[in-house]
């Protein structure tokens, strides 16, 4: 049976701690709010020594601490950068966030994060939420499929920089890995090591520029190598593990006496391929070759070690912040595209022959 609270329950509850305000300080010191504000903004020289001492004593007695946000807004600056990411569960997003955060700290800014959870319809919601905190600008790593997000950005009139993924209707600086170059190096490495039957595994590409660019580059590279190399692409939804297992079996059949290889478009796809290879009882490097986009802490620990394309995540975050800071300082250059080179990290999963890079 539910217990009934006594009628005087409110008097028995501990009182919530009330934070002192600037009004409280002014009242205790016997001065105006403007006088307290002058003291807080290091303008004691405008006050007599006696008044300054009274204000200081009142602040100490009340334990008053000014709100950094309120102080910043009074100066017309929040010193906040809004960062919208597609999926914080993706190691790539976390790594870019670290680089952006370090660059912001060095410039005297703080980062506020909004995670979309791979829900493209939340892009506008994320921009609205961060704008309500008066962020000075945005760094966007979104899916890029919400046209309302572009209109929302224009409405708020704050600069933005796109990272990794383009937004078809948004005119802004764009910072990304050079996807075409990374795919070209990956395919060339696999071909040199004797892999002639290739499979590119990706999440659904529709509307996501990075996925489209990598898959298109893969098809172009395979075509350039002529009849000696064959390649197909596989788009995987969230619950199609059986389809991946079947695709790998068919890949091995097409390879005949040779050994096929897989390229995974990002680290989540790498984990799914690794799980499928384990289910099939195969070994990387012996039964199937492999290179995956995104270097992670666990890549050297799976099988004999997984070859990867290491993205310059720290630099991506830093360059994006620097571009944004230039805009905040008044730069009016046309939108820029900055593509950074990746690094092929070769491990045993892709070394079938004796070729080296």
User: CATH 1.10.260.40 region(s) of the chain?
Assistant: 18-66
- Both tokens of 305, joined, read 């070690």
CA distances from 208 to 18, 168, 200, 205, 213 (A): 48, 10, 16, 6, 9
User: CATH 3.40.50.2300 region(s) of the chain?
Assistant: 80-177+314-340, 179-311+343-350
Q: Strand 307-310 and strand 343-345: pairing?
A: antiparallel
pLDDT range class, residue 11, cuts 50, 70, 90: very low
- Both tokens of 293, joined, read 């986009």
In the CATH scheme, what is the homologous superfamily, with its name and number, of domain 80-177+314-340? Response regulator (3.40.50.2300)
Which residue matches tokens 């009242």? 27
Cβ atoms within 10 Å of 347's Cβ, excluding its own: 19
Short-list 114, 118, 112, CA closest to 86: 118
Which residue matches tokens 């091995």? 252
Give the model confidence (pLDDT) of 249-259 as tens digits: 999 999 998 89
Task: Please say whether the structural domain 18-66 has been given the CATH code 1.10.260.40.
Answer: yes
Give the model confidence (pLDDT) of 40-58 as tens digits: 766 656 788 888 889 889 8
Q: How far apart are CA 215 and CA 234, in angstroms?
A: 9
Give the model confidence (pLDDT) of 289-325 as tens digits: 999 999 999 999 999 999 999 999 999 999 999 999 9
Q: Is the CA virtual torsion 285, 288, 294, 299 positive or negative?
A: negative
CB 134 within 8 A of CB 78: yes
In the CATH scheme, what is the homologous superfamily, with its name and number, of domain 179-311+343-350? Response regulator (3.40.50.2300)
SS3 161: strand
* pTM metric for this prediction: 0.77
């Amino acid at each position: 049976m539910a217990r009934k609270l006594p009628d005087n329950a409110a008097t028995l509850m501990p009182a919530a701690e009330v934070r002192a305000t600037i009004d409280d300080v002014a009242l205790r010191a016997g001065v105006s709010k403007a006088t307290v504000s002058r003291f807080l903004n290091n303008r004691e020289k405008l006050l007599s020594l006696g008044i300054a001492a009274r204000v200081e004593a009142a602040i100490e007695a009340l334990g008053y601490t000014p709100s950094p946000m309120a102080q910043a807004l009074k100066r017309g600056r929040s010193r906040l950068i809004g960062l919208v990411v597609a999926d914080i569960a993706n190691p790539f997003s976390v790594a870019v966030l670290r680089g952006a955060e370090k660059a912001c700290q060095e410039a005297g800014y703080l980062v506020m994060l909004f995670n979309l959870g791979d829900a493209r319809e939340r892009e506008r919601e994320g921009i609205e939420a961060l704008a309500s905190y008066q962020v000075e600008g945005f760094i966007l790593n979104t899916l890029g499929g919400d046209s309302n997000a572009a209109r929302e950005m224009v409405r708020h009139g704050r600069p933005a920089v796109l990272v990794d993924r383009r937004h078809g209707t948004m005119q802004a600086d764009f910072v990304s890995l050079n996807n075409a170059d990374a795919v070209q190096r990956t395919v060339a490495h696999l071909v040199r090591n004797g892999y002639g039957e290739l499979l590119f595994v990706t999440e659904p590409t529709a509307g996501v520029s990075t996925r489209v660019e990598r898959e298109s580059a893969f098809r172009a590279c395979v075509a350039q190598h002529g009849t000696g190399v064959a390649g197909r692409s596989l788009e995987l939804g969230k619950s199609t593990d059986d389809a991946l297992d079947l695709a790998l079996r068919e890949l091995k059949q097409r390879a005949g006496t040779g050994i096929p290889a897989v390229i995974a478009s990002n680290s989540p796809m790498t984990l799914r391929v690794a799980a499928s290879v384990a289910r099939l009882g195969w070994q990387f490097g012996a039964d199937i070759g492999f290179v995956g986009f995104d270097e992670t802490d666990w890549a050297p620990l799976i099988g004999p070690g997984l070859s990867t394309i290491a993205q310059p995540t720290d630099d991506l975050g830093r360059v994006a912040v620097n571009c944004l800071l230039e805009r905040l300082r008044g730069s009016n250059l046309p939108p820029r595209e900055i593509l950074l080179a990746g690094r092929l990290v070769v491990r045993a999963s892709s070394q079938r022959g004796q070729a080296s890079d």
